[in-house]
């Protein structure tokens, strides 16, 4: 007897697989909070556009029609959750929890894709609301699960919440092999429920363009140009970066900090207090990173914790020298075990300053940097995600027979 929780499309896919016929195309539903800039949102929108170009039905439901990162949505099937915009702003994630179960019922996707573990509360709510009628939920773990930045009680509560995700949600994506042991331990799931897929950061043509970006840029004389990119929020620890820059920077060195967020005023005041305001530029969020990467010599990341930050791959592809805090279990892999940049302890201004002072102007081995970045193309990642999704759909259909 077939279980009522399996959708008709899922059964058809199973039957096609066992008969050898081509399976019907997948339908993948992704949900995001808004167009506010962030690596999770940017990669998700671009990957959904790639799926759509491959013939996959891939609607992306957005909770709030606001934010400056709409450029990343080009080609994606973006749909704004209907309703009162003021209520969506006021309720935030609660707005999505309230409306998404009904949308999933109506859309009947084969897979519900949770593009980052910042969204797992929504995924868990949909799973609980729909029960056996919920499609398999695939979760990309986009951020650190240890969270050593938290106090003991808050960290304990967070770890319990992560373990609950492992019980509720179906399958998880690790963005680097080094993430798997941490995910097994914290989520409490076996390795069979974890797949490794490199984060699909770049299109193949973008990788080729980034590889020659600095060669085509006008040469600038004088001091070195440092670049940092990220939301101006506590996780990124930009005060540490300003302190490190003040410790080591020569008079002609310059620091550009791209991004926006709640700490802008504080960071500007901190730069003034450190005496580096005239050497710091904060242009805000920018849609196209290429001109800024072309103008830089050294990329710096000062975060307390990260998952697999896409911007690190983009900076390596653009041939920038790298100075990064040890803010993720994946960071050593991303830096090629130190081949493509320096790794320093988190929250250590002296170590960060020393590494920034010693950094060269650009990647010493450009060809190797390009080869390394080639692992993270959108084309390869989109295919790998679909392979995992098809396995989940087939397994669910098999259980329903």
Residue-level pLDDT at 93: 82
Give residue-wise pLDDT tens across range 131-162: 999 999 999 998 888 887 788 999 999 999 99
Q: How far is CA 145 from CA 9, 153, 182, 197, in A?
A: 34, 15, 7, 17
Nearest to 250 by CA among 214, 283, 226: 226
Q: Would you say 308 and 328 are in contact if contact means Cβ atoms under 8 Å apart?
A: yes
Mean pLDDT for all residues in the chain:
90
Task: Identify whether the C-beta of residue 242 lies closer than 8 Å to the C-beta of residue 319.
Answer: no
CB neighbours of 76 closer than 8 A, spacing ≥ 6? 45, 46, 48, 49, 52, 58, 60
Residues in the chain: 401
The pLDDT score that the predictor gives to residue 20 is 57
Burial classification of residue 245, based on how many CB atoms lie within 10 Å of its CB (0-12 exposed, 13-18 middle, 19 or more buried): buried
Q: Give CA–CA dist 115/93, Å, rounded.
A: 14
DSSP secondary structure of 352-379: HHHHHHH--SS-S-HHHHHHHHGGGBHH
pLDDT digits (tens, 9 = 90+) for 273-316: 999 999 999 999 887 899 999 999 999 999 998 878 889 999 99
Using alpha carbons, select from 150, 100, 90 the residue that is nearest to residue 120: 100
Is residue 118 within 8 Å of 142, Cβ to Cβ? Answer: yes
Q: What is the mean pLDDT of residues 256-261?
A: 95
pLDDT tens, position by position, 12-69: 444 444 455 555 689 999 999 988 767 788 889 999 999 999 999 999 999 988 887 7
Q: Which tens digit of pLDDT belongs to each residue from 217-252? A: 666 678 999 999 999 999 999 999 999 999 999 999
Measure the CA–CA gap between 137 and 31, rounded to whole angstroms. Answer: 12
Strand order in 225-229's β-sheet? 280-284, 254-258, 225-229, 298-301, 321-325, 342-344
Torsions phi, psi for 179 (to 5 deg): -80, -20
Q: Which of 92-96, 181-185, 257-261 has the lowest mean pLDDT?
A: 92-96
Residue-wise pLDDT tens digits, 309-339: 889 999 999 999 999 999 988 899 899 999 9
Residue 10 has a pLDDT of: 47
Measured between alpha carbons, how far is 28 from 97 in angstroms, rounded to an integer? Answer: 18
CA 69 to chain centre: 14
Distance separating alpha carbons of residues 25 and 30, to the nearest angstrom: 16
Residue (of 33, 27, 36) closest to 8 by Cα position: 27
Is a pLDDT exceeding 50 seen at residue 2?
no
């Amino acid at each position: 007897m077939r279980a009522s929780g399996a959708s008709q499309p899922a059964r058809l896919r199973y039957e096609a697989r066992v008969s050898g016929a081509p399976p019907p195309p997948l339908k993948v539903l992704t949900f995001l909070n808004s167009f506010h800039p962030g690596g999770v949102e940017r990669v998700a929108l671009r990957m959904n556009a790639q799926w759509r170009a491959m013939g996959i039905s891939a609607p992306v439901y957005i909770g709030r029609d606001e934010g400056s990162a709409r450029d990343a949505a080009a080609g994606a099937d973006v749909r704004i959750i209907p309703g009162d915009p003021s209520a969506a702003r006021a309720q935030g994630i609660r707005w999505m929890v309230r409306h998404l179960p009904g949308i999933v019922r109506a859309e009947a996707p084969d897979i519900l894709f949770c593009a980052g573990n910042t969204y797992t509360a929504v995924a868990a709510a949909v799973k609980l609301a729909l029960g056996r009628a919920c499609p398999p939920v695939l979760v990309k773990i986009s951020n650190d699960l240890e969270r050593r930045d938290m106090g003991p009680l808050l960290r304990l509560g967070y770890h319990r919440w992560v373990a609950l995700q492992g019980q509720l949600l179906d399958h998880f994506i690790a963005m680097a092999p080094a993430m798997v042991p941490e995910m097994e331990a914290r989520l409490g799931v076996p390795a069979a429920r974890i797949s490794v897929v490199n984060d699909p950061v770049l299109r193949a043509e973008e990788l080729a363009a980034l590889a020659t970006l600095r060669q085509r840029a006008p040469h600038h004389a004088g001091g070195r140009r440092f670049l940092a990119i990220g939301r101006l929020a506590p996780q990124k620890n930009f005060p540490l970066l300003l302190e490190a820059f003040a410790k080591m920077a020569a008079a002609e060195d310059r620091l550009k900090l791209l991004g926006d967020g709640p700490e802008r005023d504080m960071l500007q005041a901190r730069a003034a207090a450190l005496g580096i305001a005239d050497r710091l530029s904060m242009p805000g969020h920018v849609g196209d990173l290429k001109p800024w990467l072309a103008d830089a010599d050294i990329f710096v990341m000062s975060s307390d914790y990260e998952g697999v930050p896409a911007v690190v791959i983009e900076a390596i592809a653009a041939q920038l020298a790298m100075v990064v805090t040890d803010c993720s279990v994946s960071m050593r892999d991303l830096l090629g075990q130190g081949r493509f940049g320096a790794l320093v302890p988190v929250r250590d201004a002296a170590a960060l300053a020393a590494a920034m002072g010693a950094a060269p102007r650009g990647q010493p081995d450009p060809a190797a940097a390009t080869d390394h970045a080639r692992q993270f193309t959108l084309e390869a990642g989109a295919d790998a995600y679909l392979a995992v999704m098809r396995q989940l759909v087939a397994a669910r259909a098999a259980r329903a027979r």
